[in-house]
Structure formats: structure tokens, C-alpha cells
């Protein structure tokens, strides 16, 4: 990895991220629509492998032959599914940033971003108290290839790291504190481990409003999941190709008027 020491939210941090596919956006980058679901994919794979349609349908759990335009296209060898509009817009933004070398949003900071930056030192300190670990402040971390990056809130010893969230949305707070569900940040945690080469990552959810009941920091340890990372990396490489295509199109000279 390549560590760029900079204060998160600073001009240097925004410039370091320009044109880079970042871990906090991996979910957006992988978002596709109109694809085969698991049963449809099983049916199509079986038919293309030579199974009789009725046998393939039964094996996939259908009571009758499935009928769908997307299945017909897949059986005909036509491409199915596409990136979501959100993913396409993100790819186009990255393409522009690659060309300019500057962030397209010019360092725009939302209330949530500013709140997270302001509370991060307190979250880190509370994490150190509760875990007994020393958290080294990081900055922006680039993958060896330079195409991907993450804003590591902290690096711990030689194998770990940390990320702190400061949500105020009750739905997100309930997911952590009541349902013990951290799936919303799992992908980002794995992305950070992939980029930094670390083996585990602590995700902390910091909410000062709960300090009176001693629950101002909810945190959990995530172990590195190699299978998930391999699948994620393959998806991200396909997304990067979309960014490449947009950049190439933008750099293409306009045709001279006849």
C-alpha cells in the first residue's frame, strides 16, 4: 500500500482521492440492475450446459418452465444486466477527476461529513480506552496499483485497522445497538483490509448522545474474508473498465463539422 499522510477533509485529502475508486463507494461501484437472480442463473447455466429445460427448471426449484425476457436474452447469449445509474454517474465523475486531477465536488463537505470529522478524535480515544489498543492515525491509503483507496481512520499494530462512524439516523443506530447488525459497513471494512493488506478491522459506531448509559461507542472486529475480497476485486476491475471507457470518450477529439 501507499500511505498519503493528510488530514481527512483537507484539500490534500480531497486531491488525493480525485479519480480514485474509494472503499466507501465500493458498494455503489458494484451496484448493478436487471441481472439474473440466483434461481434464474442456475436454470440458464443448466440449459446452456445441455440439460433439458424441464430438468433444469426442476433443479432450480421451478414448478414450471420460467418465462422471462431476461432469461431468453441470457439463453440467446445476449448480455443481461447493467450498472445502476448511481454507479454510472460515479464512474463518469471519476473519469472527469482523472482528466482534471482535481475533485469534481471541489471539496464539498456535508453536515454528516463535518460531524464525523469533528467527532473522530473522541471516537478514537474511546476505542483505545475500551480495547486497550493504540490506534495510529493514518490518512489516505492507495492500493499498490494506485486505482483504489481508502481513508483509514486508524492503523493498529501490524495487522489491524479501524473505522469510525458517527451516524445520527435512528435506523442505522438501531441496526447496530439493537440488531447487532453491521452488514452496512462490512463491504467497506473488507475493502480497507484489501487495500492496506491488514488481517482484521475494527468498525466503531460513535454516538455521544448515549454516553449517559455507557453506550457511546459500539464496535466490532471483522476478520479478513479472502473469498469476499476476491469477488469484490473482480467486480471493481469491471467497474474500473467503465471509468476507463468514459475517460477515453471524454478525451476523444470532437469530430470537425463537415
pLDDT at residue 257 in the model: 43
pLDDT given at position 181: 86
Integer angstrom CA distances of residue 195 from 2, 174, 190: 9, 29, 9
Domains and CATH numbers, the chain: 2-29+86-246 (3.90.320.10), 35-80 (no CATH)
Q: Are 161 and 137 in contact (CB under 8 A)?
A: no
The 10s digit of each residue's pLDDT in 128-157 is: 999 999 999 888 999 999 999 999 999 999
Predicted TM-score (pTM) of the model is 0.84
Amino acid at each position: 500500500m501507499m500511505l498519503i499522510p493528510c488530514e481527512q477533509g483537507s484539500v490534500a485529502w480531497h486531491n488525493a482521492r480525485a479519480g480514485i475508486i474509494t472503499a466507501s463507494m465500493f458498494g455503489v461501484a458494484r451496484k448493478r440492475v436487471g441481472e439474473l437472480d440466483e434461481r434464474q442463473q442456475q436454470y440458464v447455466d443448466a440449459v446452456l450446459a445441455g440439460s433439458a429445460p424441464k430438468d433444469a427448471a426442476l433443479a432450480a426449484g421451478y414448478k414450471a418452465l420460467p418465462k422471462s425476457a431476461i432469461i431468453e436474452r441470457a439463453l440467446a447469449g445476449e448480455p443481461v444486466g447493467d450498472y445502476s445509474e448511481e454507479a454510472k454517474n460515479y464512474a463518469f465523475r471519476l473519469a472527469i477527476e482523472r482528466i482534471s486531477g482535481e475533485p469534481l465536488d471541489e471539496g464539498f463537505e456535508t453536515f454528516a461529513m463535518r460531524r464525523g470529522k469533528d467527532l473522530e478524535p473522541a471516537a478514537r480515544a474511546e476505542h483505545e480506552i475500551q480495547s486497550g489498543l493504540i490506534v495510529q492515525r493514518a490518512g489516505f491509503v492507495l492500493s499498490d496499483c494506485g486505482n483504489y483507496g481508502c481513508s483509514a481512520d486508524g492503523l493498529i499494530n501490524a495487522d489491524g485497522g479501524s473505522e469510525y462512524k458517527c451516524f445520527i439516523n435512528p435506523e442505522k443506530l438501531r441496526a447496530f445497538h439493537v440488531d447487532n447488525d453491521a452488514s452496512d459497513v462490512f463491504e467497506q471494512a473488507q475493502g480497507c483490509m484489501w487495500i492496506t493488506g491488514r488481517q482484521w478491522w475494527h468498525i466503531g459506531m460513535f454516538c455521544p448522545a448515549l454516553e449517559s448509559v455507557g453506550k457511546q461507542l459500539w464496535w466490532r472486529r471483522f476478520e479478513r474474508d479472502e473469498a469476499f475480497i476476491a469477488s469484490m476485486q473482480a467486480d471493481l476491475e469491471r467497474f474500473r473498465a467503465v471509468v476507463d471507457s468514459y475517460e477515453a470518450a471524454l478525451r476523444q477529439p470532437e469530430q470537425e463539422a463537415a
